Chain A
Amino acid sequence: MEKKVAIIGVGQSTFVRQYPGSIRELAFDGFKDCLLDAGITAKDIGASVVCSAPEYDKQRSPAGVFAEYLGLNPQPTFYVESLCSSSTTGIRLAYSLVKSGLHDVVAVLGFQKMSEISSSESQERMGRGADIQWESPFGTMMPAYYAMYARAHMEKYGTTPDDLALIRVKAATYGQINDRAVYRKPVTFEMFKDPENIMGRPVATPLRVGDCCANADGSSCIIVASAEKAKSFCKKPVWIMGLGSATTSVNLAGRDLFSGLSAAQDAARQAYEMAGVTPKDIDVAEVHDCFTIAEMMAYENLGFAEPGEGKELIRGKETYKDGSIPVNVDGGLLSKGHPIGATGGSQVRTIVLQLRDEAGDIQVKDPEIGLVHNIGGVGLYGNVTILGR
């Protein structure tokens, strides 16, 4: 394994329904958690990359505002976005900044304060992450797009709404013990069958309330460093082994695959090749479960299961902590909540803690290689990151 670029610090805020502060204060929470983890100061950071989806904030160009608030002046800072995958795009950028030698320590700071607007306004804005000229005028929203994938997956492979419910039940199993998660209540399979229970209420058929992650406010921070800095600052560096990133047509009319996400497949192929590993080598994974169907497709797009056989993994509890390929044992987006720009950083944090053997109650036994799958929009952007200890 190439040991050139490392992650030397990880942090995140608690993800909450409504953060009682401004966006710079929210960013401070994740940043502070990360600096304490890394044991470094703001002066050690050569540049920062700020990641979010911009349409939630009144503040234009938050990177410059955060740099001042976090004590990162006069170092350079800039903003990247790729919708819900913004912070792993930030990791990709930080990797290239470090690998090129331009900077030796880079902070990747993701954030989102979704509670600035109402839930239906949020649905409308999220929907505008798709094609606003040709699709949004029909009244689209993220759950409905993913529902179209769910319908196609069910039709082609015989996946059922019950299989999707099992994914939510797994998420809640771990969400209950994650003190940074927004949704910490238990979810049972029976709740989906109870007409009185909100979990089974349709949102966009065949997806129900229980199939959807919640909006949240949150921030995350990851410190990426050169091998030299990693060795001087850090006892347990985690190495970036593979990076994959791909896109597809924004308009569904321009796509051919509806039972999986082609950008995830392409990104996975690149990341495995760069890391020199195969799906069998992955010991623990975080996947982008914005909806239950998204986790099901991730099993298949990442090669943990053959196309159409993802349902066998969840039916057999193979993606639980003690299964053959633990997935989202921190509760995933379904439990943690999905503060757009902070999400990828939170996924990376979980895998880094796992590889350092510091994941507490959710620790997987002795993992050596972990994977993060982070998707932007309806599979418009796909980022896959492979980490090793």
Chain B
Amino acid sequence: MGKKKEVDDRFKKFGTVSFTAITKTNDFITHLENGKVAGTKCLDCGAAFFPPRADCSHCLTSNMEWFDVAGSGKLVTFSKLTFAPIGFEADVPYCIALIDYGPYKVFGRISSDLPEEDIQIGMEMKTVANTVSNGQLNYVFAKA
């Protein structure tokens, strides 16, 4: 038997259930492990991408650098789920949401310690790296 080939499948750690294991943006997970939420920026045209992309469809190049999603953005919209798809039952209830940072937007979950009545469209929120109860990694939105 030959030696098993090493596979970089870091992305299987993303979210309560990940549906992707291998991507050229696997460094996103290492950034999360270091407490950072990161997007990519095209070194050719300067466009900032979140979610991160490995390739720029404008320039047809793959010259990317990572940047930190820092500061705060505005809550665009959200929903609290009281029924979950298979694999997410233990998380219910939870809120999914979209935050507008200006040059890019971020889709994710609102921190579970923020009650629904305190959530207002337009409020300033920040994006924070988070460990899920099952040991997986994601990020959540907290009051800025």
Contact = CB atoms under 8 A, between A and B. Distances in A.
Nearest to B132: A137
B85 A202 contact: no
A148 interface: yes
Interface residues of B, number: 40
A135 B51 CA distance: 9
A202 B82 contact: yes
Contacts of A317: none
Contacts, number: 118
Given A148-B78, A151-B79, A138 B15 contact: yes
A141 B18 contact: no
A139 interface: yes
A147 B97 CA distance: 10
B109 A120 contact: no
B85 A204 contact: no
B70 interface: no
A288 B86 CA distance: 26
Interface string B89-127: 101001011100000111111000000100001000000
Nearest to A201: B82
B77 A137 contact: no
B81 A137 contact: no
Contact of B96 (A123, A131, A132, A138): A138
A95 to B, nearest CB: 29
Given A123-B85, A139-B94, A203-B82, A149 B14 contact: no
A136 interface: yes
Contacts of B136: 137
B84 interface: yes
A151 B122 CA distance: 12
Nearest to A203: B83
A305 interface: no
A139 B16 contact: yes
Interface stretch (A49-57, A70-78, A251-259, A363-371): A251-259
Interface in B1-20: 11, 14-20
A133 B86 contact: no
B96 A251 contact: no
Given A138-B107, A251-B107, A252-B105, A152 B77 contact: yes
B67 interface: no
26 contacts: A127-B85, A132-B19, A133-B11, A136-B17, A137-B14, A137-B19, A137-B136, A138-B16, A138-B107, A139-B16, A139-B81, A139-B91, A140-B85, A141-B85, A148-B97, A149-B77, A151-B78, A155-B121, A202-B80, A203-B82, A204-B82, A205-B79, A252-B107, A253-B104, A253-B106, A253-B107
